[in-house]
Every structure is written in C-alpha cells, then in structure tokens.
Structure 1
Amino acid sequence: MKPEIIVVTAAYGRDRLDELGGQQAVVPMIAAAGADGVEIRRELFNDAELSDLAALGKVIADHRLTAFYSVPEALFAPDGTLNPNLDRHFAEAAQLNAQLLKYSLGHYQQGSNWSALREKLAARTLCLVVENDQTACGRLAALENYFHQHSETRVGNGMTFDMGNWLWTGDSPTAAAARLADFVSYIHVKAVAPMGDSWRAVALDDADSLWRETLALLPAGVPRGIEFPLEGEDLVAVTRHYVELLSEV
C-alpha cells in the first residue's frame, strides 16, 4: 500500500505564497499534482486568514485533500506545563477539518501530569504529534526521553520525524530513524546541504543519498510530507514530480 503524500505549503516559500495569494491559493495546485493532502502552517497566515479558517477548510475538502495543521509552538512550555494555547489550536484545527495537529516537543519533563491533555483528546479524533525541531529540545536524546520514559502514561499519537532537522541539532538522521522508528506516524521528507556553518533545505534531485537511506529505515505506510523547496515556473509539474517520486521510493 502506497503512503499518503502530503505537501507542506511552506515548501513553496513565503514570498511565492504571498505572490500566489496565500495558502488557500496553492490547494488546487496540490490537488492537481496528485497529492493526498496538505499541511497548513499557522505561521504563514495573516490576521484575516486566521479569522476565516473555515473557508480554507472548505476549499481543502472540496479538493478532496486531507488537512494537517502545523503550529509553530512547543507542546511543553519552559516550566514543563502544557502549551496554554492548546484549546485555541484545537478549535483552529477543527475549522480546517484537520486530521493531525503538530507541535515541536519543547521542554518535556519526566513525571508530567497527563490528565489534562488526555481529557482534551478524549472527545476528539484528531491526532496530536510532536516533531523534532532545530533547537536543543529537538535533540535525539530529548525525543528518546519523551517516547521511552513513562510510555504507559504518554498520550498523543506519535512523532513527526523531520529527517533534515537532525543535522541542525548535530544528530545523525539514520541513527535517529533506527532508534525512533516505532514511534513515527508522519515523516517530513527534507534533504539538506551545508551552508556555511549551518544547513539549508534542498530539492531531492539536488541532494545526496542521505534522505533515501533515512527513509528506508522508517515505517513505509505512514504519510510522507514534502518539506523541501518546490520551485519553478510550473509548480503543478514540479509538485507532481515529487509526489510521484515519494509514492514509489
């Protein structure tokens, strides 16, 4: 069974999205390219767009796409408590008819009280996942601690594995894949190349084989998100090329 292919709107770049008319404008292109879904990014909304998420949700549904929703915040605050904006984000996800809500992990502390989050999720079918980001909180040791410690009380629906972000934190993507594969429920496919003292995301056709090696270690049936630059005159054709590639690899 082929995995679902999700296109992350940020792959088109903020400037190109603004030129096209925002995230809603690329939904028809993503559908035309044969993708299964779209990941909407909260940080790319202006105030007017954020106040009318139901309209975007309808466009996504009309194009028969699955909606994922990414919030650029951590699930756990610096003091170890849950993000105080959870209810607002749950409501936004509902307006988008999103099936998945994604956060970075943040400052998880062992022994956290899960009852509040468990209650919030009890009446929802929404999947809540955490992602390895490019900060110290996204290090392999931190994610392993979260997923392995107190597994009997941990709630949520697993991990968004961003294969490129490990390089920003100094970890090995393949080592992370081998150690966290059992918890992965969504993959951000991202190839990167060195840029000075840091890294930059690049298109898969311009990358080395590390993304393929990493992907081979991860669950084959979970959704795969395109989170590398999609650029060119014909964005539908470029997107279709990578949708087809990630459907087969």
Structure 2
Amino acid sequence: MQREIVIVTAAYGNSVVRALGGQSELLPVIAAAKADGVEIRRELFSGEELNALPQLAEKIKQNGLFAVYSVPFALFNTGGKLNPDAEQYFDEAHTLGARTIKFSLGEFEPGADLTPLKVLLAAKPVKLVVENDQSSECGILSRINAFMFAAESLHLPLDMTFDMANWLWVGQDPATAAERLARHVGYVHVKAAEKRGGKWHAVALDDSDGSWIPLLKALPQDVPRGIEFPLEGEDLVAVTRYYVELLRKIY
C-alpha cells in the first residue's frame, strides 16, 4: 500500500494562501502534485469560509483528497478541563468530511478525569490526533507522555501527531521523544528547522542538516506524513510533487 502524504496548507505561507483566495484554491495544486490529503487550518479561514464548510468539503472530494482538520486550540484548558468548545470543532470537522481532527494538548494534568473526552469521542465519528506544540509548558515530553499513557489506559480512540521539529522550540530532543512516543503516533508532521539569530525557523528538507531522516526512520512507517515545512517557488506543483515523492520513499 502506498504511503499517504498530506499537504498542510500553511506550508505555502499565510500570505500566499490569502493572495490565492483561500485554502480551497490550493486544492488543485495539491492534487496535481499527487498528494493524498490536505490539512485544512481553521486559523486561515475568513468568516465567510468558515460558513462554507460543505462547499469546501465537496471541493476536497472533487480533487480526490481526504482532509485533516487542524484547529488552533488546546484540547485541555487550565486545570485539565476539556475545552468546552471541542464538540463544536468536531462538528466542523465532520461537516468538512475530515478523517481526523488535530488539537494541541494544552494543560492536561496527570490524574485528570478523562470521562468528558471519552464521552465526546464515543459520540463523534472523526478521529482525534493530539500534537506536541511549541509551548514550553504544554508541548513537552513529560506532559504528552502522561496524556498518551492515560488515554491508552482508558482505551481512548485517539493517536498522537508527532511534529518532528516542535521539540526543538521547547528545548527537547526529538530522538528521545520519538523513542518514548513512537507507538502512539498516528500522524507525522514532517518538519526540519534551523536556528537563526537565536530562534528556530522551519526550513525545507533540502535546506536542512539532514537530521530529519533518522528521526523519520524512528517513527511508524505506515502512518500519514504531513508536509508542514515551507513549500516555496515559482512552480508550486513541481516543488510539492518533489517532496511528495521524496516522502513516499521508505527511509
């Protein structure tokens, strides 16, 4: 079976998305590049676009793609409470026809009651994936690992989105995180980064030091890989297709 490659619309840059007229205008590019799916970012919607999810769902289907819906919100709020708007976001994902919905973890606390999350997941057909983000308190290995252990203990139907470079933003070793979390990973955000002026910046894979290759090898090989590093150039189809083909190879 061919490995599934997902293109994150934000990889083209927010200004490009806006200039083209929204995320829907990238679908033909992504389809022409022979990708399998698109990650739609809620934060890139205008108010009008958010009210036109059924139309976007139809365009995604017409382009032969599946959807991942990324919301720019944490799953857990202060005190380890489930985000009260989580159900709304799941409903948006369902309207979009998304296969999965992605949240950052947020302020999960070990020992917190996960019953509300269990009830929500039982009621919704969209699969949940939880990502390590760039926040120094919530995107760290200890908190992510504690949540995945708790979720596994309760047999919750969810996986982790492993962002390969976000660990660098929180000062942690990606290889150590991969060793600890690989069995929970159901989606990989492929990303490389380099430090400039004391700050981390995402870079295209060919412009990196190559450390992403052994890291990718350490993660499950049969899960979708999302391209979230910058996709730039005169011919967006060509540059996208190049990386789609590269990431389909088995490392």
Q: TM-score when scaled to structure 1?
A: 0.97
Residue 208 of structure 2 is aligned to residue 207 of structure 1: yes
Instruction: Output the amino acid matched with 2:46.
Output: N
Deviations 1:184-217 (A, max 9, x none): 0000000101121210000011111211111000
Partner residue, 2:40: 40
Q: How do 1:58-69 and structure 2 match up within 5 A? A: 58-69=58-69
Shift of 1:224: 0.1
Partner residue, 1:51: 51
Contact 1:159 1:185 in 2 (8 A): yes
Deviates more, 1:145-154 or 1:183-192: 145-154
Instruction: Output the amino acid matched with 1:124.
Output: K
Shift of 1:116: 2.0
Contact 1:8 1:39 in 2 (8 A): yes
Measure, in 1, the Cα distance between the counterparts of 2:199 and 2:89: 31
Shift of 1:81: 0.5
Contact 2:67 2:99 in 1 (8 A): yes
Contact 1:114 1:154 in 2 (8 A): no
Partner residue, 1:79: 79
Deviations 1:55-94 (A, max 9, x none): 1111001111010000011000012100111121011101
Partner residue, 2:188: 187
Partner residue, 1:160: 161
Q: How do 1:135-150 and structure 2 match up within 5 A? A: 135=135, 136-149=137-150
Identity of aligned residues (%): 52
Compared with structure 1, are the counterparts of its residues 19 and 118 closer, same or farther at alpha carbon in structure 2 (3 Å cutoff)? same
Instruction: Output the amino acid matched with 1:219.
Output: P
Contact 2:57 2:97 in 1 (8 A): yes
Partner residue, 1:151: 152
Partner residue, 1:93: 93
Compared with structure 1, are the counterparts of its residues 141 and 188 closer, same or farther at alpha carbon in structure 2 (3 Å cutoff)? same
SS of equivalent to 2:220: coil
Contact 2:94 2:125 in 1 (8 A): no
Measure, in 2, the Cα distance between the counterparts of 1:8 and 1:195: 23
Deviations 1:202-235 (A, max 9, x none): 0011111211111000000000000000001110
Measure, in 2, the Cα distance between the counterparts of 1:198 and 1:214: 21
Shift of 1:154: 5.5
Shift of 1:6: 0.2
Unmatched runs of 5 consecutive residues or more in structure 2: none
Shift of 1:4: 0.5
Deviations 1:93-133 (A, max 9, x none): 01110010000001111222222222222133311011000
- Count of matched residue positions in the alignment of Structure 1 and Structure 2: 249
Measure, in 1, the Cα distance between the counterparts of 2:41 and 2:151: 30
Measure, in 2, the Cα distance between the counterparts of 1:199 and 1:47: 31
Shift of 1:148: 2.3
Residue 109 of structure 2 is aligned to residue 106 of structure 1: no
Measure, in 2, the Cα distance between the counterparts of 1:109 and 1:153: 15
Measure, in 2, the Cα distance between the counterparts of 1:216 and 1:133: 21
Deviations 1:137-171 (A, max 9, x none): 00111111112246322524110000010000011
Measure, in 1, the Cα distance between the counterparts of 2:150 and 2:47: 39
Residue 236 of structure 2 is aligned to residue 235 of structure 1: yes
SS of equivalent to 2:162: strand
SS of equivalent to 1:134: coil
Deviates more, 1:218-227 or 1:87-96: 87-96
How much is the aligned-residue C-alpha RMSD, in angstroms?
1.2
Instruction: Output the amino acid matched with 1:117.
Output: L
Deviates more, 1:54-63 or 1:153-162: 153-162
